[in-house]
């Protein structure tokens, strides 16, 4: 049976799995129901190996081709976690858990990879090994890194990694990809300012931390505009300013917090260095002190050239050449699949989710019409990469 027909057959099942996951969202590493359901299905499909508990709650399935196992071992990755958002879709299969929602389409990613695993396990029309990876905690918990730290690459002999994410605003049935940097490195910071509290009517006897904080925010905006090479990209956003609780009291302390984003390791180092200098220097100019805490988050997600060209050719087979954008601009969001691409070559591709609400919006929903495209992409990626 041709791939398209069999995947059309599987479409109702995959849709049902997706909607079941959607109704039961789980956060971070706490994806026990989801992981159990994934593992149970992988076993039922006849995967050669199903391993749970990798990176705490990650699941890995191994499918060996029937054309010999001398070929490569490639890994396909989906993410399983949801977000702390109150769902506002009103769908019949909307979240049954207050305050939790699949608002990033990871329900769709998991279901499509399960669909591909079922197809690959029943046909095994390849030579080599397909490893399906279901990770927890993509949303800020670095679940990908946890699975790598658990020895996943060595244990399964993974030689390449492929990832996929849906993209609202791009038509259903289309793909976008690019070689090189795709998603930014994401760091976060707090700045604790200490001055001298006092009466609002006698500012000369105090050291005003609110004014100091305001000056620091303003001066931080000079880092990107004045010290980063204008041909390189960077963002510094101050998103928290916590200060005071009375009309007539100058607070002793103030806290600022925010995020910085970059695509280049040197720019990343520069942002951290200048952020410390500007915050501490500005505070000093006001007679206050600033203590900067800076945390490095997900690294840059950078697609490897050869694997990206290959992934684009697979997408073109699925969607048609004109429906694959091979030069999609990078964006300043972050993805922990970056850790996998730092371990092994591979590529991350966007798949159109049509005219839906944006990712992380309470009205967002994964479009089930995307399923045949995503599932076919995974299947063809394996059959083409591991053609015996």
**Which of residues 3 and 103 has its CB atom nearest to Ni ion in the complex?**
103
**Which of residues 102 and 124 has its CB atom nearest to Ni ion in the complex?**
102
Contacts 24+ apart (CB under 8 A), 146-152: 146/29, 146/55, 146/56, 146/58, 147/54, 147/55, 147/58, 147/60, 148/55, 148/339, 148/340, 148/343, 149/55, 150/54, 150/55, 150/58, 152/54, 152/55, 152/58, 152/60
Q: 326, 178 in Cβ contact below 8 A?
A: yes
**Which of residues 189 and 339 has its CB atom nearest to Ni ion in the complex?**
339
Q: How far is the CB of 226 from Ni ion (least distance, A)?
A: 34
Q: How far is the CB of 335 from Ni ion (least distance, A)?
A: 7
**Which of residues 156 and 364 has its CB atom nearest to Ni ion in the complex?**
364
Tokens in use for 253? 């302390």
Binding footprint of Ni ion on the chain (CB under 5 A): 104
**Which of residues 271 and 338 has its CB atom nearest to Ni ion in the complex?**
338
Residue nearest to Ni ion (CB): 104
Q: 145, 138 in Cβ contact below 8 A?
A: no
**Which of residues 50 and 104 has its CB atom nearest to Ni ion in the complex?**
104
Rounded to whole angstroms, the Cα distance separating 207 from 316 reads 63
Q: How far is the CB of 167 from Ni ion (least distance, A)?
A: 10
Q: How far is the CB of 106 from Ni ion (least distance, A)?
A: 6
Helix H segments across 2-86? 3-23, 32-45
User: Regarding beta strands 324-325 and 49-54, do their DSSP bridges make them parallel or antiparallel, or are they unpaired?
Assistant: unpaired
Q: How far is the CB of 364 from Ni ion (least distance, A)?
A: 10
Q: How far is the CB of 100 from Ni ion (least distance, A)?
A: 15
Rounded to whole angstroms, the Cα distance separating 250 from 199 reads 6
Q: Name the phi and psi angles at 168, rounded to 5.
A: -60, 140
Q: How far is the CB of 109 from Ni ion (least distance, A)?
A: 8
Q: Name the phi and psi angles at 62, rounded to 5.
A: -120, 130
**Which of residues 31 and 104 has its CB atom nearest to Ni ion in the complex?**
104
């Amino acid at each position: 049976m041709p791939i398209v027909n069999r995947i059309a057959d599987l479409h109702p099942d995959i849709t049902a799995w997706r909607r079941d996951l959607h109704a039961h969202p789980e956060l971070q590493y706490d994806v026990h129901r989801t992981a159990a359901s994934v593992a149970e299905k992988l076993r039922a499909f006849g995967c050669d190996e199903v391993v749970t508990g990798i990176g705490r709650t990650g699941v890995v399935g191994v499918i060996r081709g029937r054309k010999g196992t001398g070929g490569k071992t490639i890994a396909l990755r989906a993410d399983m976690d949801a977000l702390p958002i109150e769902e506002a879709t009103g769908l019949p299969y909307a979240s049954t858990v207050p305050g939790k929602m699949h608002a990033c389409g990871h329900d769709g990613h998991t279901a499509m990879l399960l669909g591909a695993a079922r197809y690959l396990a029943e046909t095994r029309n390849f030579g080599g090994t397909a490893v399906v990876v279901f990770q927890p905690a993509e949303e800020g918990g670095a679940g990908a890194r946890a699975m790598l730290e658990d020895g996943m690459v060595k244990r399964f002999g993974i030689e390449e990694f492929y990832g996929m994410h849906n993209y609202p605003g791009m038509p259903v049935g289309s793909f976008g990809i690019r070689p090189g940097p795709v998603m930014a490195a994401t760091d976060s910071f707090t700045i604790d300012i200490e001055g001298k509290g006092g009466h609002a009517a006698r500012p000369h006897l105090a050291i005003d931390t609110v004014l100091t904080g305001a000056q620091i925010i303003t001066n931080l905006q000079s880092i990107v505009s004045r010290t980063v090479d204008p041909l390189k990209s960077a963002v510094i956003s101050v998103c928290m300013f916590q200060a005071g609780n009375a009309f007539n009291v100058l607070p002793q302390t103030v806290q600022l917090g925010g995020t910085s984003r970059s695509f280049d390791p040197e720019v990343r180092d520069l942002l951290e260095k200048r952020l410390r200098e500007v915050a501490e220097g500005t505070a000093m100019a006001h007679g206050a002190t600033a203590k900067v805490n800076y945390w490095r988050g997900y690294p840059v997600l950078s697609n490897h050239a050869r694997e990206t060209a290959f992934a684009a050719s697979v997408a073109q087979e699925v969607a048609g050449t004109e429906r694959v954008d091979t030069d999609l601009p990078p964006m300043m969001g972050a993805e922990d699949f970056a850790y996998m691409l730092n371990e092994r070559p591979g590529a991350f591709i966007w798949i159109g989710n049509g005219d839906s609400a944006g990712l992380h919006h309470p009205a967002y929903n994964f479009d089930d019409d995307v399923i045949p495209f995503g599932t076919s992409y995974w299947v063809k990626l394996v059959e083409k990469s591991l053609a015996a």
